[in-house]
Structure 1
C-alpha cells in the first residue's frame, strides 16, 4: 500500500505529542534553507568569488569544475555510509554533528586566506568540509521527518520542507547578487548564523526515535568498495572535462581511462559484496519493493536530467542572451539570477501543494505528471533561438519548476513510506546518494556535450566571424586559446574579447583599425559568434533531458496505483 505504514513501522513510530513533529519540521526546514541558500548563492556569486581571489579565467577552468562538482562528489560517496551509521548510532546524533560541520565549513570559507590558485584550492577544500556535514544532514533529514509524521501527513511535511529549500534558492540568487557587490566573503558568512541557530536548536530539541534494532556491524568491505569505486568514477569524469596535453578534453588520458575503468569494476563488484556481508550498508533487499525501486530510479533519472541544466541555462543567459539585450558583462551574473526566478516560482507553487495532495490521492499521478511537464519544458527550451523572447523562456522555466515541484515531495514520500522504520536511515541515504550521483553524472554529461561541440565548431565559426569583422590577423592567436576559457570568462563577468586581446601580441592588435576593435569589444559580437557554436550542443542537451524525463515518467506510472 503506497501511503500506509509498512509492516514493522508502527512499532518504531515516534509518539511524543502533537507539538514535536512541528519542532522536527522547523529544524529540518532550517537545515534545508541553509543548504539551499549555500548552493544557489555560491553558483550565482562564482564570478565575484573568482574575481575576488584574482583567478585567470583562461587557465583556471579546472577550479570551476571542482567548486561545482566536488561538493556533490563527496556527498554522493558518503551518503550511504552516513545512513547506515545513523541507523546504528542514532539519526539525531549524526544529524547534529553534520549541522555543526557544515557551519564550520562556512566559517572556513569566509576566512579563506589565499589568493590566486592557492585561494581557489582552499575554497575547494573548505567546500568539501561543508559536503561532509551535508552528508550527515542529507542522509537523515527525510528519515527524521518520516519518524515524526504519520503516513497520511508525510507528503505535506516533505512539501513544506521543500518550500524552505526552494525559498532558499530564490533568496540565495538575490542575496548572492547583493552581497557579492560589497564583498565576496559575505556570500559564505550568511550561512553561519543560520547554521549556529540550527545546530543549537537541533541539539536542544531533537530526540532519538526508540527504534527496535539489533546489534549491527559496520560494513567495512562494502564501504571501501563503494567509496573507492564511486570516487574513482566521478574523478575520472571530472578530469575527462579538462584539457590533456594538446587535446582540449581529457577523455584520452590514461589516468582518466584507468580511473573510470577501475571505478566501474569496483561498482559492479559492490552488489555482489553486499549480498554476502552480514549487515550491508546498501540494502539491496529494499529494491524488492516495486514502489521503492522504481521511485528511486525515477529520482536518479530526474537528477541526471536537471543536475547540469541550471548551469547550462545560466551560461546561456550570461554568455549570450543578456549581453545581446544590452547588459554589461559585469552585471550579467546578478541579472541571470533574476531572470531564472520563474523556475523557483514554479517550485514554490507546486512543491507544497503536490505534497499535500499526494497524501490524499497517492503519489503516482503527481510524480508521473511532474516528469511529463519537465520533459515538455525541455522541449520548449530546445526550440528557442539564441535571441529569444523572454516571456517564452519564462513560461518554459515556470513549467519546469511546476513539474519538478510536482515530482519532488510525492516521490520522496513514496520512497520513505515503502520501508520499515529501522531502515529509514539507510533508505534515506540510498535515495540521496542516487540523487547526488545523478547530479554529478549530469554535470559531466552536459559539460561533455557542450565542450566537445565547442572544441569542434568554435574555431571555424570564430575564423569566419573575425574575417567578417576585418580582423583575420587574430584568427591564429585567438584560435590557439581554449574555447572553454572564452566561455568561462563570459560566465565570470568579463568581456571575453578584452581578455583575449590582452593576451595576444600587441603588434597584432595595433594592426587593427579602431572600428574593428570597437566591433570586437562591443557587447554583441562575441555573443553572436559564441551562439553559433554553443546553441546546437545546448539543444542536444535539452533533447536528452526531455527523453530522460519521459523515461522517469513511465517508471512513475508503472510503480502501482494507490489503494487503501
Structure 2
C-alpha cells in the first residue's frame, strides 16, 4: 500500500508544473512584451498556444498510453516537458518561445492521461481511488489558480525564463523516482492512434483563431483572411465527418447530440474563457496602467484564485441541494454580474470592491465548471464515460485557449479604436503604439520625455477604456448564455 501512495506522489508531482504552466505567463505578459519585443499578437500566441495544442493532443496521447503503458508515457512526456522547458527558458525570440510552448503542450498532453491512467491502475478499491482522484483534481485546479502568483513571485526576483526553469528539477526527480518506484503496466499494442485526426483538429483550430485575430487587426488582406478562415472551417468539417464515420473515433461526436452534454461543454468552455481571459486582462492592466510589479499583480488577484480553487466542495453541495439547472444558470449569471461590476471600477482606488467582485467571479465560474462536469458525466451512457471525460478535458483546454484569444481580440480592437495619441508621432510609430499598450510603452522608450509621457498616458487611458468594453461585452454575453442554459436545461427536466 505504501508503494501505491508513493507512486501517487511521484505521478502527481509532475502534474503540478503542467497545471501551473497553463496560467503562469499571465503576469509575465508585460515582461515578455518588453524583453523579447513580442507584439500584442505574438504575446497572445505565446500564452494560448499551450492550451490549444493540448486540447487536440490529449486524446491521442491517452491512446498512446494504452498502447505502451502509462509508466512509459509518463516518463516520455516528462522528458519532453523538461526539454521544452529548457528551450522556452532560453528562447531568444517570440517565435522560438511559441514553438517551445507548443512542444510543452505535447509533453503535458502525455502527462495528464498518464497520471489518470496511473491512478486507475494503482488504486483498485473505489475508496482509495476517489481519494487519489481528489488529490489529483486539487493539484490541477490549485496549480492553474495559483499560476499567476507563482509567476509573479519568480519574476520579482529572477529573469522571465525562471518560470520555465523551475520545471526542470521537478522533471529530473520524477523521471528518476518513476523509473524505480512506479510499477510497469502492460500495454496494448493493438490500440489504434489518431495522431492524424488530432493534427487536423489542431490545425483547424489554429487557422480559425489566426483568421479571427488577423481580421480584427487588419494587417492582412481580406482575401488571405478569408482563405485562412475557409481552410480552417473545411478542415474542421472534414474532422467532424471523419469522426462520425470512424469505427474508433478520437471523439464520439454523437455525444454532442445530447442536450445536457452539449450544455455542459458550453458551460465548461465559457467558465474557462471567463477565468483565464480575465486573469490576462488584469495582469496587463495592473502592471502597465497601475505600475504593479508581477508579484503585486499576482497578490492583487489572489481572491479570484482562492475563490476558484476552493469553491468546488461548496458548489458540489449546491448542485445536490438546488439542482443542476439553478447552479449552472446561476453561476453564469453571477459571473456576468461580476464582469459588469468590474468593468465600472478603478482598480487603483476601489480595491475592496474589486476583490469582492473577484471572489464572486471565482466562485460563480468555478461553480459553473463543476456543474458542467456533473452534467456531462451524468448524462453520458455508462459505456461512454471515458469518451465523455475526454470531451470534458478538451472543453476545459479549448476554453482556456479561447479565453486568451477572445479577451485579447476585444482588448486589441477597443484599444486601437479608443487611443488618442499626441501630435508628433510619425505614421509607423503611431500605428505601432496604437496596436497594444505594450507596443505603446516600447515606442515611448525612444521618444523625448515629454512626448513619451503623453504617449504612455494616452495608452493607459485607452487601456482602461478597452478594459471596460471587454468586461462589459463579456458580461452581456454571459447573461445571454445564462438565459440559454436556463431554458435548455428546463426542457431536459420536463422530459
TM-score category by the smaller chain? 0.7 to 0.9
- The aligned counterpart of 1:44 is 27
The verdict on how the C-alpha distance between 1:99 and 1:359 changes in structure 2, with shifts beyond 3 A counting, is farther
- The aligned counterpart of 1:12 is none
* CA distance in structure 1 between the aligned counterparts of 2:315 and 2:101, rounded to whole angstroms: 33
**Partners of 2:332 and 2:478 within 8 A in 1:** no
- Residue aligned with 1:279, SS: coil
Are 1:189 and 2:123 an aligned pair? Answer: no
Q: Find 2:278's aligned residue among 299, 302, 309.
A: 309
- The aligned counterpart of 1:69 is 48
Root mean square deviation, CA, Å: 4.1
* CA distance in structure 1 between the aligned counterparts of 2:475 and 2:7, rounded to whole angstroms: 38
- The aligned counterpart of 1:326 is none
The verdict on how the C-alpha distance between 1:447 and 1:539 changes in structure 2, with shifts beyond 3 A counting, is same
- The aligned counterpart of 1:94 is 73
* CA distance in structure 1 between the aligned counterparts of 2:466 and 2:315, rounded to whole angstroms: 39
1:377-456 aligned within 5 A: 377-385=338-346, 389-409=350-370, 411-412=372-373, 415-416=376-377, 426-456=387-417
Write 1 or 2 for the structure with the bigger share of helix: 2
Deviation of 1:261 (Å): 0.8
- Residue aligned with 1:295, SS: helix
* CA distance in structure 2 between the aligned counterparts of 1:150 and 1:546, rounded to whole angstroms: 43
1:144-223 aligned within 5 A: 145=119, 148=123, 160-169=135-144, 171-180=146-155, 181-202=157-178, 215-219=190-194, 222-223=197-198
Deviates more, 1:71-80 or 1:159-168: 159-168
* CA distance in structure 1 between the aligned counterparts of 2:469 and 2:406, rounded to whole angstroms: 15
Deviation of 1:220 (Å): 7.0
* CA distance in structure 2 between the aligned counterparts of 1:220 and 1:170, rounded to whole angstroms: 30
Are 1:132 and 2:116 an aligned pair? Answer: no
Unaligned segments of structure 1, at least 5 residues: 1-16, 245-249, 323-328, 467-471, 491-495
Deviation of 1:400 (Å): 1.3
| 1:353-387 C-alpha deviation (Å, 9 max, x unpaired) | 44578689986665554434323322322333576
Select the structure of larger CA radius of gyration.
Answer: 1
Q: Find 1:542's aligned residue among 472, 475, 482.
A: 475
Q: Find 1:122's aligned residue among 73, 89, 96.
A: 96
Q: Find 2:307's aligned residue among 346, 352, 364.
A: 346
The verdict on how the C-alpha distance between 1:169 and 1:275 changes in structure 2, with shifts beyond 3 A counting, is closer
- Residue aligned with 1:275, SS: helix
Unaligned segments of structure 2, at least 5 residues: none
* CA distance in structure 2 between the aligned counterparts of 1:126 and 1:335, rounded to whole angstroms: 27
Deviates more, 1:396-405 or 1:344-353: 344-353
Q: Find 1:263's aligned residue among 212, 219, 232.
A: 232
Are 1:109 and 2:88 an aligned pair? Answer: yes
Are 1:318 and 2:270 an aligned pair? Answer: no
- Residue aligned with 1:183, SS: coil
The verdict on how the C-alpha distance between 1:547 and 1:393 changes in structure 2, with shifts beyond 3 A counting, is farther
Deviation of 1:290 (Å): 5.5
- Residue aligned with 1:44, SS: coil
The verdict on how the C-alpha distance between 1:557 and 1:196 changes in structure 2, with shifts beyond 3 A counting, is farther
Deviation of 1:239 (Å): 4.2
Deviation of 1:341 (Å): 0.6
**Partners of 2:240 and 2:253 within 8 A in 1:** yes
* CA distance in structure 2 between the aligned counterparts of 1:518 and 1:233, rounded to whole angstroms: 37
Deviation of 1:391 (Å): 0.6
Deviates more, 1:428-437 or 1:338-347: 428-437
**Partners of 1:159 and 1:354 within 8 A in 2:** no
| 1:483-505 C-alpha deviation (Å, 9 max, x unpaired) | 124x1247xxxxx2xx435545x
| 1:317-375 C-alpha deviation (Å, 9 max, x unpaired) | 2333x2xxxxxx4x443322111111011023313444578689986665554434323
* CA distance in structure 1 between the aligned counterparts of 2:375 and 2:135, rounded to whole angstroms: 16
**Partners of 1:36 and 1:168 within 8 A in 2:** yes
**TM-score normalized with structure 1 length:** 0.73
* CA distance in structure 2 between the aligned counterparts of 1:454 and 1:49, rounded to whole angstroms: 19
* CA distance in structure 2 between the aligned counterparts of 1:133 and 1:166, rounded to whole angstroms: 19
* CA distance in structure 1 between the aligned counterparts of 2:425 and 2:200, rounded to whole angstroms: 51
Deviates more, 1:25-34 or 1:69-78: 25-34
Deviates more, 1:230-239 or 1:215-224: 215-224
- The aligned counterpart of 1:56 is 37
**Partners of 1:109 and 1:185 within 8 A in 2:** yes
